[in-house]
């Protein structure tokens, strides 16, 4: 069964450092998403991406965040200068159609900012 894969599974970084979280969406999917889940809290939408550009983003997705699809398979989330409050589980998802209710999620990357 096709799946969304994310690397690394756990990333520890110092405050102020840049991190790049990587995702390989399902190959025939066209829409890509990033979500985050702070420990013990609800999942929050960050951004959606289609046709090599951001289609939607939430208020969380500020100038410190960026996304990129550098080649035909990877989809990355970059945080330029990490803050303690960026510590969370970050989930990548992809879908065939625009309706994100049908998205498949990866297993997540746990980001710990120290």
Partner 1 sequence: GESVGLHLPTLSVQEGDNSIINCAYSNSASDYFIWYKQESGKGPQFIIDIRSNMDKRQGQRVTVLLNKTVKHLSLQIAATQPGDSAVYFCAENMDSGGYQKVTFGIGTKLQVIP
User: Residues interacting with partner 1, by CB under 8 A?
Assistant: 4, 41-45, 48, 55-56, 91, 93, 98-108
Please tell me the distance from the alpha carbon of residue 10 to that of residue 20, in angstroms, as a whole number. 12
Pair of tokens at residue 109: 């990357």
Please tell me the distance from the alpha carbon of residue 1 to that of residue 14, in angstroms, as a whole number. 36
> Smallest distance, Å, CB 86 to partner 1?
18
Please tell me the distance from the alpha carbon of residue 83 to that of residue 100, in angstroms, as a whole number. 28
29 or 106: CB nearest partner 1: 106
46 or 79: CB nearest partner 1: 46
33 or 65: CB nearest partner 1: 33
Pair of tokens at residue 7: 């690397």
> Smallest distance, Å, CB 70 to partner 1?
22
DSSP code, position 103: P
> Smallest distance, Å, CB 41 to partner 1?
7
41 or 81: CB nearest partner 1: 41
- Taking CA atoms, 80 is separated from 25, 51, 62, in Å, by 22, 23, 11
> Smallest distance, Å, CB 101 to partner 1?
5
């Amino acid at each position: 069964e096709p799946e969304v894969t994310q690397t690394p599974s756990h990333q520890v970084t110092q405050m102020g450092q840049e991190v790049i979280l990587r995702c390989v969406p399902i190959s025939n999917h066209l829409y890509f998403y990033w979500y985050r889940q702070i420990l013990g809290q609800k999942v929050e939408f960050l951004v959606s991406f289609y046709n090599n550009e951001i289609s939607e983003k939430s208020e969380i997705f500020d100038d410190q965040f960026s996304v990129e699809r550098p080649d035909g398979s990877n989809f990355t989330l970059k945080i330029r200068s990490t803050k303690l409050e960026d510590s969370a589980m970050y989930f990548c998802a992809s879908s065939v159609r625009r309706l994100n209710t049908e998205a498949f999620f990866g297993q997540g990357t746990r980001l710990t900012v120290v």
